[in-house]
Amino acid sequence: MKDRQNRLNQSAVIKAVGGGFWKVHRVAKLVAGLGAIALGTSAMAANPTAKQALGLKPVQPGVQYAIVAADEVEQCQVVDVSEEGAKGWLVIGPDGNRLRRFLDTNNDQRIDRWSYFQYGVEVYRDVDSNYDEKADRYCWMGSQGIRVGIDTDQNGKIDRWERISAEEVSAEVVGALAANDSSRFMRLLITADELKRLGLGKEHAEKVAQSVQQARTGFAGLASGAGKLQPNAKWLQFAAPSPGVIPAGEGGATSDVIVYENVIAMLEEQGQSKELLVGTMVRVNDTWKLIGLPAVGNGEQLANASAGMFFSASAASLPTPSGAADGLQEAVEQLEELDQKMATAPAAQKAELHAERAKLVASLVRQSANEQDRESWTRQLVDTLSVAIQSGEYPGGLKQLQAVAKQIDADGRPTMAAYAQYQAIQSEYATRPAAEENFAEGQKWLTDTLTAFVKQYPKSQYAAQAMMQLALNKEFQGSEKDAVALYRQVATGFPNIDAGRKAKGAIYRMESVGRQVELAGTTIDGKSFKLSALRGRPVVLHYWATWCDQCLHDVKLLDRLKARYKNAGLTIIGVNVDSNRADAQAYLKANPVPWPQLYAEGGLEGSPLSQAFGVQTLPNMLLIDAKGVLVGHGIRASALDGAIDGATRK
């Protein structure tokens, strides 16, 4: 309701705008969802009123800026302003302090910078840096910090940080845990490319890469388990020893690496003080990046977990019995040797090696010095078994995985138990006979088992994944009403995780047949894209990835259809969902495709482009007619020609 009212306020401002500093005015309008201010053609147009201008709000939540009391709004002034070639409006409060400033910085008669002030000092601005009427940069300044967030797909959510301090990273971690927002946490972790450019030696780089991977897989369990924070949890303070440096040449480092160890975030939750061990951070250009999973607890618990990554990760700093650290290191080294042996072993030896690997990881679970390590190694044990089972190389692993899941549940660890049980279900399904006569039986087993799983763990994120799988099965069966009902459960029950966002997109896709649809994003070469800009031409959206052989085969068909329906203006738009942008770029360089390719980080599960229409499987194609109306979705390659023919004959 608040968002709707804000949009109404923005619309009111925009309809009233004009300004005496342009000789030619144009009718103002609201630009999709942003509240962009344009200048109108009406000679009678005037500056917005103070009430209208003060109705606009920052795109990002949580900004602390001046709010004018209702009885003082009429005392505020809106004046024309010209600053360093930029023109716009300035809102001044009764005390003479600046409150808001809206500027056109490129003289195209459209506002592209929205500034907010506190005590007369600018503390935040939304910026449309490519002048396409959508904000893509969010900047905190003054007393509000130094953050600069980049919104590559211009959907109002930050995709990466261009600049962020260590203090602000610690606050973002608290915010991510309080909101159970995995995307917010993931953008704080160092990326593979950043790690490579950081210049660490091989040993340190491998250690960091492993820690980051464990953080990626472990956040969901932390946020809903030991690290769960209430939505009203408030970050208070950053605390850490002085930063240190790993000098160039040390351990193979190619450049100086600036590091914070044992960072603590002080927070308040329901009136109680709490501490969060954020851990180790490294400086990457103008940002600070996490390299591990946080830990929550009291002072003693955090002290037990505070072994540093670079400077203080000694066995003496951990509360382990004598010799335990040596045993842990030995097991890790054995695991590395085993993985090398596994890569070249003949098929006949794989089952024995998988069994040995599972035994080693289980020993690491038992030797874990703290709950965080225990969770990480337990997850790796589950993953070790499920991958081995589903590869067909370790048939005996299923009973072992089921036993592990049962034991975890008995230990009172519901989050990890749900993960283990879900992987056991997927592994068992993968080993069931694939013959056609067994298919219906297998589907019934899967449906019944997943349904029971959801009832057992209704609040688990894996319950959301199970419901997504059930909904997809309903789609394949043609039971769209049942599919939408399941998607709606996920969308409403898990709105802040990938499954919830994808479920919302699936509902939009399924309920939009016969209606106009929209998709906005950025091409892989950095150009803005909007589906509605192609009105007047039929469009095929082709979701694909380099690992999907059928998708690559479909490109040839799409090329032929593009030529066949040239007179109808058929346009093909590729939507790549590779997890690694470089994979898509390398493929397209070697195999040029003559149509635009959209890309966003996140892969099939997390990409905003796949979530927009709830795409779960590949290949996947959607057909939109010349009016922008969705004609069909999930169209098979064999049916695409007929679908296009029907759409172009209307």
Q: pTM score, two decimals?
A: 0.53
List beta partners, residue 268.
234, 273
Q: Tell me which residue of 254, 63, 297, 33 sits closest to 154, measured CA to CA.
A: 33
Q: How far is Cα 579 from Cα 435, in angstroms, rounded to an integer? A: 32
First to last CA, the chain: 39
Q: Tell me which residue of 551, 538, 539, 540 sits closest to 577, measured CA to CA.
A: 551
Q: What is the pLDDT of residue 44?
A: 28
Question: 100 CB contacts (<8 Å, ≥6 apart)?
Answer: 53, 54, 56, 89, 90, 91, 114, 115, 116, 117
Whole-angstrom CA distances from 104 to 82, 83, 129, 232 are 9, 10, 11, 37
The helix/strand/coil state of 142 is helix
Q: What is the pLDDT of residue 434?
A: 61
Q: How far is Cα 211 from Cα 205, in angstroms, rounded to an integer? A: 10
Q: Tell me which residue of 372, 196, 354 sits closest to 282, measured CA to CA.
A: 196
Domains and CATH numbers, the chain: 2-145 (no CATH), 163-313 (no CATH), 324-508 (1.25.40.10), 520-648 (3.40.30.10)
Regions of the chain short of the pLDDT cut 70: 1-46, 296-308, 312-329, 332, 369-370, 372, 434-437
Q: Tell me which residue of 20, 74, 18 sits closest to 50, measured CA to CA.
A: 74
Q: What is the pLDDT of residue 79?
A: 92
DSSP string, 580-610: -HHHHHHHHHHS--SS-EEE-TTHHHH-HHH
φ and ψ of 608, to 5 deg: -60, -25
Q: Which residue has the tokens 């009832």?
A: 455
List beta partners, residue 265.
238, 276
φ and ψ of 264, to 5 deg: -115, 135
Would you give the distance in Å from CA 207 to the centre of its chain?
Answer: 24
Q: What is the pLDDT of residue 24?
A: 23
pLDDT in tens, 44-99: 245 788 998 999 999 999 898 999 989 999 999 999 998 777 899 999 999 889 99
φ and ψ of 209, to 5 deg: -60, -40
Report the DSSP pairing between strands 539-544 and 571-576.
parallel
Q: How far is Cα 380 from Cα 339, in angstroms, rounded to an integer? A: 13
Q: Which residue has the tokens 């019995």?
A: 321
Radius of gyration of the chain (CA): 27
Q: Tell me which residue of 287, 297, 275 sits closest to 169, measured CA to CA.
A: 287
Angle value at C-alpha 473, between 468 and 478, nearest 5 degrees: 125
Q: At what angle do helices 480-493 and 498-511 cross, to 10 degrees?
A: 140
